[in-house]
Amino acid sequence: MRSTYILIIGCLLLGHFAWAQETAPIKTYTTRWVQGQAPRIDGLENDEAWNQVEWAGNDFTQRSPDDGAAPSEDTQFKILYDAKNLYILIRAFDADPEGIVKRMSRRDGFDGDFVEVNIDSYFDKRNAFSFTSSVSGVKGDEYVSNNGQNWDRNWDPIWYLKTSVDDKGWIAEMRIPLSQLRFADKEEHVWGLQIMRMYFRNQERSHWQYIPQDAPGYVHLFGELHGLKGIRPQKQLEIQPYILAQAENFEKEEGNPFATGKSNNVAVGVDAKIGLTSDITLDLTVNPDFGQVEADPSQVNLTAFQLFFREQRPFFIEGNNVLSLKAVNWNENNLFYSRRIGRRPQIGVVVDENGDDGVTEHVDRNNNTRILGAAKITGKNSKGFSWGLLESVTDKEFATIDSLGFRREYAIEPMTNYLVGRVQQEYNDAQTIVGAMFTATNRQLDEPQFNGLHKSAYSAGIDLNHALKDRKYLITFRLLGSQVNGSTEAITNTQLSPERYFQRPDIPKQRLDTTRTQLSGTAGTLIFGKTSGKFLYEAGATYRSPGLELNDIGFLNQTDMLTQWVNATYRFLNPVGKFRWMRYSVTLWSDYDFQSRMIGRGGDINFNTQFLNFWNLNGGLSISDAIISNADLRGGPSFLYPTGLEAWMWMSTDGRKKLSAGINPWISRGSHKWRETEGLYMEVTYRPTNALNLSLSPSVSHSANALQYIETVSYNDEPVYVIGRINQYTYNMSFRATYMVTPNLSIEYWGQPFATTGSYSELKKVTQHNADSYDQRFLLLNTQFDAANNQYHLDENADGNVDYSIRNPNFNFAQLRSNMVVRWEYIPGSTLFLVWTQGRTESPSLDRDSFSHLYAGLFDKTPHNVFLLKYTYRFVL
């Protein structure tokens, strides 16, 4: 392994000295202030105003597939402006207008032929605003940051667009209010400008300002827009109140006053976007609604760690790249995880389900904590200093408990204040960026049941990104720290949590301290890499100390770990033989814990290709060597797993066709047959018309793990860690249908039936957890199943007597989630939503585990239906 590292590093150094880059000359376009009547946005080029400026273009250059070649068709554009607006006219020539692909999609769908305008109005050569027009009139808009590495589709500005098709090709005409852009207050401006065209039939992207695929960045290489004089930053003021009517129906439970079978509710709220100055924008939400948000995908978690779900709430998504500082780019560990705000209440409710008096208590509780309000301030000045600040307050949450009509309330989540701040300063045209971030969580712990929660939690971090040799190389440094405060119970809970398990018997005893009222830790990362050219590489190291805790407002899955890695990638960016492009990469990695033990190492090889017929073929192979888990025995000692091998492949047909499909098989195997996993995922998309898109994504997987943790029991005053072989089958299917009535009126349905079954056998007791011999790590137990009590009785010493018992770990689970949304943006920025959400959940009997048995009871079950009508109106003042 060591010699392999040396070989890889040698290749990296060779690439360092063997590569050079040429950049294209910077183009300029000079615009003019509109004289007389401004253009009418109708998708035509017959306004007299357009004669005041010349066409630019006819010199676009392909970026893909044939990097640097001439495009298949010419593209031209004109730009005008006045005190309030920027006007853009794009003419996309096409020798075969009948062949123009006019697919429709929801906003930001980017399907069919389209053109795109990127504007770096800050002229910081790092951030830009992107406006996209499809030939069918569908808008797309994105906020571009980090020199083109991040494209935020959740930015939804107000702008105006019309398109038309004629015998020359097609036209896009835009009006972009200056209030939707950010720029400095000065007399004359130079802005960064890029115009891009997607010629869908050839999957060809061409640009006005040529930027090679292997360039070290994107925004800093834009062309320039000149001639902007006398405009002033617009103080944006948008207020968007909403009214929501909601009705629910669900299964009625006799005797349960909270399960009457139906409920109704009406709510109001408001969102606002206020330009405090030309540099600072304030976003506000009061009593936010997330009813139209799609449900999270179904999953069953058999690990010790929490699952990460992506944010889907618009207020928290827009601009989320600003309020972010990750430990490393390739995992979810982050100082800020917005799903913590409005989280599921953390305190459980214990009720008397069938007491001595025969009375059953019933509970009514919300699945999420109510967000009273949130405010987000973002800004950037002309000197390259940017900042973001988010403040949010969630309400104290109560569960209502009913006992024969007598009701009482029980607090299940304290009132909490969340604060997140982020600053960054750019130097040398953003080739050096220094940043810092701070978070704070403060809870009002005014109930005894809150004693196990942190009273306060703070985290902070600094980061440095420094580019070398015109951004061809990049050094990244990050240092994070955290501190949580609370009662001895709260801090003990933190020490015993799956992220660290300080109670483990094979680590220093001094780690667990039940008298602590505070816990702190750090994390750090150092990376050096080559970011441009055909040959790329990266070498880095990252650590997370045992005391690190981010989960009050961030995301952290595991501590006590140091990882180092090297990665090398070679890219064929232009067509070669039968391929449009190819990419190959190799990665080597190793993990250590803070006792200097190597707890894992391995490597993987991946390839990604596209053929000339637009089919794709990707695949990979991963090898892991003797992984040691410090968490899988849930507070027990570390456990040594044998070596493993995993292979996967993805093949897809031509996505330009009305009918396209993809298939993704995977398989993994472990030595001693400790792990045997295989699965198949498929994806089929059908477009019978330009307005209708149907997609189906079924998958099935099987997992056999001979070393799956089940339970810890006590025997002779000693802990016994029971593991076993699990056979798990999972069936999943996602169906989506989108019908575009007009570019601003859509009907979309999403549904996901999900089912999984797990059966256990070969129950074992962990013995020598890290023994060199696989068979010495566990002892096979004699088992007897007690159907009456749904338990397994275990006989450790084979004397015929029961030594201890465990619950039956087998499971069957089925769930259906669906969401139908009618969305009508009747005027730009103002929307009417009609939403129908349905959920069904069932735990079928364990006597069978067939596919049909899992789903049989699901569709007979009374669904939980939620019907929403949401009306918003955006006032632009």
- Model confidence band, residue 850 (pLDDT cutoffs 50, 70, 90): confident
Number of domains in the chain: 1
- Model confidence band, residue 23 (pLDDT cutoffs 50, 70, 90): low
**Looking at the chain, how many residues does it have?**
877
The tokens describing 232, both together, are 């002033």
The tokens describing 566, both together, are 């090297």
Examine residue 655 and state whether it is found in any structural domain, yes or no.
no
Please give the Cα distance from 622 to 645 (Å, whole number): 6
Average pLDDT over residues 233-243: 86
For residue 868, give the 3-state DSSP assignment.
Answer: strand
pLDDT at 1 over 60: no
Query: Nearest-CA neighbor of 701 among 779, 757, 656, 661?
Result: 757
Beta partners for 692?
Answer: 689, 739
Please give the Cα distance from 167 to 266 (Å, whole number): 52
Cα-flanking dihedrals φ and ψ of residue 178, to 5°? -65, -20
Please give the Cα distance from 197 to 110 (Å, whole number): 11
Look at 23 and 665; give whichever has higher pLDDT. 665
What pLDDT does residue 15 have? 45
Look at 83 and 156; give whichever has higher pLDDT. 83
Could you give the percent of the chain with pLDDT greater than 90? 73
Q: Are 317 and 309 in contact (CB under 8 A)?
A: no
For 106-117, give the secondary structure using H, E and C.
CCCCCCCCEEEE
pLDDT in tens, 107-149: 888 899 999 999 999 899 999 999 999 999 999 999 998 899 8
What are the C-alpha distances in Å from 430 to residues 120, 368, 388, 424, 471? Answer: 13, 41, 18, 10, 10
Q: Is the dihedral of CA 153, 526, 423, 313 positive or negative?
A: positive
Q: Are 215 and 221 in contact (CB under 8 A)?
A: yes
Examine residue 628 and state whether it is found in any structural domain, yes or no.
no
CA 174, chain centre distance (Å): 31
Average pLDDT over residues 539-552: 96
**Window from 63-77, 159-173, 315-329 with minimum mean pLDDT:** 315-329
Other C-beta atoms within 10 Å of 769: how many?
19
Beta partners for 394?
Answer: 371, 416
DSSP of 540-575? EEEEE-TT---TTTSB----SEEEEEEEEEEEE-S-
What is the identity of the amino acid at 751?
G
Rg, the chain, Cα only: 30
pLDDT at 237 over 80: yes
DSSP of 702-723? EEEEEEEEEEEEEETTEEEEEE
The torsion region of residue 3 among left (phi > 0), alpha (psi -120 to 50) and beta comes to: alpha
What are the C-alpha distances in Å from 717 to residues 502, 624, 713, 804? Answer: 20, 36, 10, 12
- Model confidence band, residue 14 (pLDDT cutoffs 50, 70, 90): very low
Q: DSSP secondary-structure letter at 287?
A: S
Query: Nearest-CA neighbor of 108 among 151, 72, 74, 145?
Result: 151
Examine residue 69 and state whether it is found in any structural domain, yes or no.
yes
Q: Are 521 and 500 in contact (CB under 8 A)?
A: no
Query: Nearest-CA neighbor of 321 among 191, 139, 155, 116?
Result: 155
Please give the Cα distance from 708 to 303 (Å, whole number): 9
Domain range enclosing 213: 22-229
Q: Are 758 and 628 in contact (CB under 8 A)?
A: no
What pLDDT does residue 293 have? 62
Please give the Cα distance from 357 to 659 (Å, whole number): 64
The tokens describing 577, both together, are 């033989």
What pLDDT does residue 479 have? 97
**Window from 240-244, 577-581, 718-722, 845-849 with minimum mean pLDDT:** 845-849
Examine residue 341 and state whether it is found in any structural domain, yes or no.
no
- Model confidence band, residue 355 (pLDDT cutoffs 50, 70, 90): low
What pLDDT does residue 313 have? 78
Please give the Cα distance from 431 to 434 (Å, whole number): 10
Average pLDDT over residues 581-593: 96
* Average per-residue pLDDT for the chain: 91
- Model confidence band, residue 846 (pLDDT cutoffs 50, 70, 90): confident
Examine residue 521 and state whether it is found in any structural domain, yes or no.
no
Q: Are 389 and 377 in contact (CB under 8 A)?
A: yes
Which pairs with CB-CB distance under 8 Å and at least 24 residues apart come from 614-618?
614/203, 614/580, 614/653, 614/654, 614/655, 614/656, 615/651, 615/652, 615/653, 615/654, 616/650, 616/651, 616/652, 616/662, 617/649, 617/650, 617/651, 618/649, 618/650, 618/651
Rounded to a whole number, what is the largest CA-CA distance in the chain? 101
Examine residue 321 and state whether it is found in any structural domain, yes or no.
no
Look at 430 and 70; give whichever has higher pLDDT. 70
Cα-flanking dihedrals φ and ψ of residue 615, to 5°? -80, 150
Query: Nearest-CA neighbor of 535 among 510, 507, 508, 568?
Result: 568
Examine residue 370 and state whether it is found in any structural domain, yes or no.
no
CA 557, chain centre distance (Å): 16
Q: Which residues have C-beta within 8 Å of that of residue 2, sequence separation ≥ 6?
A: none
- Model confidence band, residue 311 (pLDDT cutoffs 50, 70, 90): confident
Other C-beta atoms within 10 Å of 530: how many?
22
pLDDT in tens, 656-693: 999 999 999 999 999 999 999 999 999 999 999 999 99
Please give the Cα distance from 605 to 701 (Å, whole number): 23
Scanning 556-606, the segments in alpha helix (DSSP H) are none
pLDDT at 606 over 90: yes
The torsion region of residue 84 among left (phi > 0), alpha (psi -120 to 50) and beta comes to: alpha
Cα-flanking dihedrals φ and ψ of residue 50, to 5°? -70, -15
Virtual torsion, Cα 503, 509, 510, 516, nearest 10 deg: 30
What pLDDT does residue 16 have? 46
Please give the Cα distance from 195 to 57 (Å, whole number): 9
Average pLDDT over residues 24-45: 94
The tokens describing 9, both together, are 């590093």
Beta partners for 636?
Answer: none
Q: DSSP secondary-structure letter at 334?
A: B
What pLDDT does residue 358 have? 58
Virtual torsion, Cα 246, 249, 250, 255, nearest 10 deg: 100
The tokens describing 357, both together, are 């008096």
For residue 161, give the 3-state DSSP assignment.
Answer: strand
Q: DSSP secondary-structure letter at 308?
A: P
pLDDT at 858 over 80: no
pLDDT at 628 over 70: yes
Please give the Cα distance from 604 to 187 (Å, whole number): 55
Please give the Cα distance from 866 to 870 (Å, whole number): 13
**Window from 312-326, 622-636, 665-679 with minimum mean pLDDT:** 312-326
Cα-flanking dihedrals φ and ψ of residue 382, to 5°? -70, -15
Cα-flanking dihedrals φ and ψ of residue 644, to 5°? -140, 155
pLDDT in tens, 46-58: 999 999 999 998 8
pLDDT in tens, 418-471: 999 999 999 998 899 999 999 999 999 999 999 999 999 999 999 999 999 989
DSSP of 758-824? EEEEEEEEE-STT-SSGGGGEEE-EEEEETTTTEEEEESSSSSS--EEEE---EEEEEEEEEEEEEE
pLDDT at 18 over 50: no
CATH number where 199 lies: 2.60.40.1190
- Model confidence band, residue 294 (pLDDT cutoffs 50, 70, 90): low
**Window from 6-10, 323-327, 506-510, 647-651 with minimum mean pLDDT:** 6-10
First to last CA, the chain: 64
Average pLDDT over residues 483-492: 97
Q: Are 761 and 725 in contact (CB under 8 A)?
A: yes
Examine residue 138 and state whether it is found in any structural domain, yes or no.
yes
What pLDDT does residue 859 have? 77
Please give the Cα distance from 178 to 346 (Å, whole number): 45
